[in-house]
Structure 1
Amino acid sequence: MNTVILIPARYASSRYPGKPLVELKGAGGAAKPLIQRSVEAALKVSGVSGVYVTTDDERIADACTKFGVGVIMTSPECRNGTERCAEALASLHDPDLVINFQGDALLTPPGFVEALIARMRDDSDALVATPAMRLRSDEVRVLQAEEAAGRVGGTSVVTDAQGYALYFSKRLIPYLPKHALDERMSPVRLHVGVYAYRPEALERYVATPASELETLEGLEQLRFLVAGVPMAVVDVETPPFAMRELNNPEDVEPIEQALIDSGLE
């Protein structure tokens, strides 16, 4: 399949303005902007025909030019990364799949994306695929503490018996009764913010208005569920390092530690 990776990036993040250009130190102590680290992670994915950053901001475009990645400029009216990918579709040469490799998902292993491509190749019913992984119980406790402190620490997902998404939430789901975290691995599946779309899914997405659930949760993928678009959730192996996205300034230190733990320069 002709597969293209797009990395949406915007400067005006409500929670962390300018975060694509935030410098992050790796294992060797060298600092690189978040968007560069995300591009380097995307370039490790096999079986794709191109990697592009999609943005409406010249500062981000200029930074990308310096480290040699292609840029597709999109409208500032795009409300999220999926809408940005949908607009960029017109600049691509008839891809079979578009990968939304989110600009703050720099720790995403290439195998996660390759698993999405394989699922979309084998499952003609799925119009979107996205990965999830079981969290260790101690990781869930950390997220519970962050939730109690009013911070967003991750997105969880529940599925039906065929592996299609039922719901995503920034709250921890499902409900965890007493003793639910007694085992090393928890019942909670952390959603990893990467997507594989068929072009049809992107067309349906922009034709569907944002729902109340999407607005309340602040989760763009809920529009697919409201529109009845089948979303396959692909279980991936939990990596040995903590998976974190850069959502808040407080995330910088744990992400830098994860870069060290994973040996990324």
Structure 2
Amino acid sequence: MKPAPALSLTSLVVIPARLHSTRLPQKLLLAETGKPLIQHTYEAACQARGTDGVVVATDHESIESAVIGFGGDAVMTSESCASGTDRVAEIAQVRPDIDIFINVQGDEPEISAEAIETVRFLLETNPDVSMATLATPIRCLDKLRDPACVKVAFGENGRALYFSRSPIPFVRDGFEGHIDAEPPMFFQHLGIYAYRRDFLLKLATAPPSPLEQLEKLEQLRVLEMGETILVGTIAEPSIGIDTPADYAAFVRKIGNC
């Protein structure tokens, strides 16, 4: 089926930015590269074409000050926000002029313009879908078995069937003969989302669902609501900064550029 022609829709990239993190305290303000980490993510997001701006949605004045300091756009959100989705939804409440909101994680300083453009295009060309996300092939058995790597299974039409921390689909006869299959059989879910405004506001008010609570994956709430998540694929994931080692590697990479 050919996609519907692109509509003239407005879109905004929102970067939820929480100050406190467990494994790397105040990581978004780390600045060993000469720039705070949140600035790297903001500037990377600004490279995407076709959006109507980038804004940081934060819970702390120190991040707001840092963003304003480098010339970015920042908005303070409520301390009661339980997730990044809730922060994006707060922006949606005051931006009725925006049709599509794109949620980019604040700790992904190398997020590609392609990723943002792809997830936006999925909603622009599929008017019956309320939410879209991305995935990339898994080619390593250790990653496939790692519960920190979220997996997604989707149909030929790109519609998500399930997300899990367990390997999906499960291969009864063993994974070894299938990890290098073409086309790929296993996909890592990437933490970038695009939502239509009305659906985002509905999602933020829906209670956590049973499967979501078991897997600790918010996207399962969407499937349990009976909604569709469209999954696009890209060749390589961006590298998130979760640990001191991750940040040290990023600093070295920037220093060698």
TM-score range (shorter-chain normalised) is 0.7 to 0.9
Higher percent of residues as strand: 1
Say whether residues 1:162 and 2:157 are aligned partners. Answer: yes
Q: Which moved more, 1:14-23 or 1:217-226?
A: 14-23
Amino acid at match of 1:164: R
Q: Give the alignment partner of residue 215 of structure 2, picking from 198, 214, 217.
A: 217
Cα distance 1:119–1:144, how it changes in 2: closer, same or farther (>3 A)? Answer: closer
Alpha-carbon contact 1:107-1:259 (below 8 Å) kept: no
Which 5+ residue runs of structure 1 have no aligned equivalent? 25-29
Say whether residues 1:171 and 2:169 are aligned partners. Answer: no
Identity of aligned residues (%): 33
Counterpart residue number, 2:193: 195
Counterpart residue number, 1:71: 74
Amino acid at match of 1:213: L
Root mean square deviation, CA, Å: 2.4
Q: After superposition, what is the alpha-carbon deviation per residue over 1:75-111, rounded to whole angstroms, capped at 9, x for unaligned?
A: 1111111111111112324211111111122222111
Provide the C-alpha distance between the structure 2 equivalents of 1:39 and 1:18, rounded to a whole number of angstroms.
16
C-alpha displacement at 1:216, in angstroms? 3.3
Which 5+ residue runs of structure 2 have no aligned equivalent? 1-8
Cα distance 1:64–1:143, how it changes in 2: closer, same or farther (>3 A)? Answer: same
C-alpha displacement at 1:16, in angstroms? 3.4
Provide the C-alpha distance between the structure 1 equivalents of 2:165 and 2:241, rounded to a whole number of angstroms.
15
Q: After superposition, what is the alpha-carbon deviation per residue over 1:108-161, rounded to whole angstroms, capped at 9, x for unaligned?
A: 2111111122221111111001111113x2xx245258x3xxx72x32211123
Task: Give the number of aligned pairs.
Answer: 246
Q: Which moved more, 1:170-179 or 1:116-125?
A: 170-179
TM-score norm. by structure 1 comes to 0.83
C-alpha displacement at 1:253, in angstroms? 3.9
For 1:107-118, list aligned pairs within 5 A.
107-118=110-121
Cα distance 1:144–1:122, how it changes in 2: closer, same or farther (>3 A)? Answer: closer
Provide the C-alpha distance between the structure 2 equivalents of 1:87 and 1:170, rounded to a whole number of angstroms.
28
Amino acid at match of 2:53: G
Cα distance 1:252–1:187, how it changes in 2: closer, same or farther (>3 A)? Answer: farther
Q: After superposition, what is the alpha-carbon deviation per residue over 1:201-239, rounded to whole angstroms, capped at 9, x for unaligned?
A: 112212210123323333222221121221100122x13
Counterpart residue number, 1:4: 12
Provide the C-alpha distance between the structure 1 equivalents of 2:37 and 2:142, rounded to a whole number of angstroms.
24
Provide the C-alpha distance between the structure 1 equivalents of 2:216 and 2:28, rounded to a whole number of angstroms.
19
For 1:1-265, list aligned pairs within 5 A.
1-23=9-31, 30-135=33-138, 137=139, 140-143=140-143, 147=146, 152=148, 154-176=149-171, 177=174, 178-182=176-180, 186-236=184-234, 238-239=235-236, 243-256=238-251
